[in-house]
């Protein structure tokens, strides 16, 4: 039986190396250390031979099959795939730089197919060209030593850029694994550098989780006197709890006031899976007012002076600074942390919260079906959250901590729940 992506991903290490056959000579060799190597077994002039076609996950199942297919084509032509690879190494550019650019070209195709974010592609290209190429670019990829790579990474660390060094190591690992698939390298040398880089200090997005301070923040937001686009973005950020980039790039065509939903297509999501945001009564009211001002634009929040582009990524954060909140106190991304903390504290279903935050990594078939998971309870939760924010905004600071959010999670498993009429009064 042919392998599946799930079977490859879930293959566990054993005391001894073992193989999982995919068919037609291709197999996955799982090593005791957990590494997974693709091997293509074939016969040439009566002799059995083995060809390496990459390391998982750098070389996916589909790519391994394609590479094995190319080897079979050579056999059909009467050529030995292994010998042809040796010849290719002598005639082709096997430099680190050439392999990296070959990998970038493959990534760029995924960008055009909306399977990868352009920002991710751009960051990868910057790391390669600015940090790795200057010292490693022209070196044959199969001859680069762990010591050489470590020296490059340590140079980055001397500038205090520990997270950048970690990411550069990750990008280098991708390049070496790609080189294995191309037959230019025998292994990923970044595995030798485990534990040799200074761990970066993890800093979370600043957020406010004290109910009294949340109420103060909401009063400040509703008192913002700037343009309607920025004011609406500030008001919607805590209600919709999407990532800042997803909010500022929101498009009117994806909103349905009738069903009170914002259906975000996969190409706009970080995890490249579709996502549904149930709209509260308060959210619908803000959106309807905003639509009068920006409904003629593709975007909810068009850039000032250019309605064909979304607002700047710094707009919400700058507005928060105008309201007196420094970067260490609150950020546009912090609204998600605020919601996550308080929703969990008030007893809402953890899986529903995570799904609404689009934290769960999904792929393939799951992405096509599970975006609506927990949707009935998420509808109730988002309305309860909006009501709670309203109550905090209107409450005296000394009373805020005693305010409880309505929690119907225990009885929200039925599927007949409907959005309350938008004309209902907001909870006092």
Annotated active-site residue in 19, 122, 369, 401: 369
Q: What is the C-alpha to C-alpha distance for residues 246 and 93, in angstroms, rounded to an integer?
A: 40
43 φ, ψ to 5°? -120, 135
What dihedral angle (degrees, nearest 10) is formed by the CA atoms of 265, 269, 273, 275? Answer: -60
Annotated active-site residue in 178, 243, 379, 393: 243
Annotated active-site residue in 14, 359, 401, 404: 359
Active site residue 85: no
Please check whether residue 219 is in contact with residue 400, taking contact to mean a CB–CB distance below 8 angstroms: no
Q: 3-state DSSP: the chain helix, strand, coil percent, rounded to 5?
A: 50, 10, 35
Active site residue 90: no
Which residue shows structure tokens 């070389």? 59
Q: Residue 51 forms beta bridges with which residues?
A: 40
* Helix (H) / strand (E) containing 39: strand 36-44
Annotated active-site residue in 135, 270, 321, 394: 270
Q: What is the C-alpha to C-alpha distance for residues 107 and 125, in angstroms, rounded to an integer?
A: 10
Active site residue 112: no
Query: How many helices and strands (H and E) does the chain possess?
Result: 18, 9
Annotated active-site residue in 336, 362, 374, 393: 336
Q: What is the C-alpha to C-alpha distance for residues 208 and 257, in angstroms, rounded to an integer?
A: 30
Tell me which residue of 221, 216, 207, 206 sits closest to 342, measured CA to CA. Answer: 207
Active site residue 336: yes
Annotated active-site residue in 333, 346, 366, 394: 333
Active site residue 56: no
Active site residue 288: no
Q: List active site positions.
A: 243, 270, 333, 336, 359, 369
């Amino acid at each position: 039986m042919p392998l599946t992506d799930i079977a490859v991903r879930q293959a566990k290490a054993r005391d001894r190396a073992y193989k999982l056959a995919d068919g037609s000579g291709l197999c996955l060799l799982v090593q005791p250390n957990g590494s997974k190597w693709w091997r293509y077994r074939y016969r040439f002039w009566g002799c059995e031979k083995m060809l390496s076609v990459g390391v998982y996950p750098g070389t996916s199942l589909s790519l391994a099959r394609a590479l094995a297919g190319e080897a079979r084509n050579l056999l059909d032509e009467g050529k030995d795939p292994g010998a042809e690879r040796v010849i290719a190494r002598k005639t082709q550019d096997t430099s680190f730089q050439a392999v990296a650019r070959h990998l970038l070209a493959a990534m760029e195709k995924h960008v055009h197919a909306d399977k990868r974010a352009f920002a991710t592609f751009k960051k990868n290209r910057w790391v390669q060209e600015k940090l790795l190429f200057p010292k490693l670019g022209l070196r044959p990829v199969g001859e680069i030593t762990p010591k050489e790579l470590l020296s490059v990474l340590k140079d980055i660390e001397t500038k205090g850029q520990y997270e950048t060094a970690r990411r550069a190591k990750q990008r280098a690992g991708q390049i070496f694994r790609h080189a294995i698939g191309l037959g230019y390298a025998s292994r990923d040398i970044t595995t030798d550098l485990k534990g040799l880089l200074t761990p970066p200090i993890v800093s979370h997005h600043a957020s406010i989780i004290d109910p009294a301070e949340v109420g103060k923040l909401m009063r400040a937001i509703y008192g913002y006197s700037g343009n309607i686009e920025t004011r609406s973005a500030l008001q919607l950020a805590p209600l919709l709890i999407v990532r800042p980039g997803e909010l500022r790039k929101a498009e009117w065509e994806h909103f349905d006031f009738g069903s009170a939903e914002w259906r975000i297509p996969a190409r706009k999501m970080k995890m490249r899976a579709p996502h549904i945001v149930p709209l509260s009564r308060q959210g619908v009211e803000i959106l309807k007012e905003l639509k009068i001002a920006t409904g003629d634009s593709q975007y909810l929040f068009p850039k000032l002076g250019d309605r064909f582009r979304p607002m700047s990524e710094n707009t919400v954060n700058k507005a928060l600074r105008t309201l007196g909140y420094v970067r260490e106190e609150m950020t546009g991304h912090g609204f998600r942390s605020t919601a996550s903390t308080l929703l969990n504290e008030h007893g809402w279903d953890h899986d529903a919260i995570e799904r609404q935050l689009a934290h769960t990594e999904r792929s393939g078939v799951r992405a096509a079906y599970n975006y609506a998971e927990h949707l009935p309870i998420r509808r109730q939760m988002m309305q309860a959250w909006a009501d709670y924010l309203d109550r905090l905004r209107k409450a005296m600071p000394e009373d805020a901590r005693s305010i409880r959010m309505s929690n119907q999670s225990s009885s929200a498993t039925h599927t007949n729940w409907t959005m309350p009429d938008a004309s209902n009064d907001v909870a006092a």
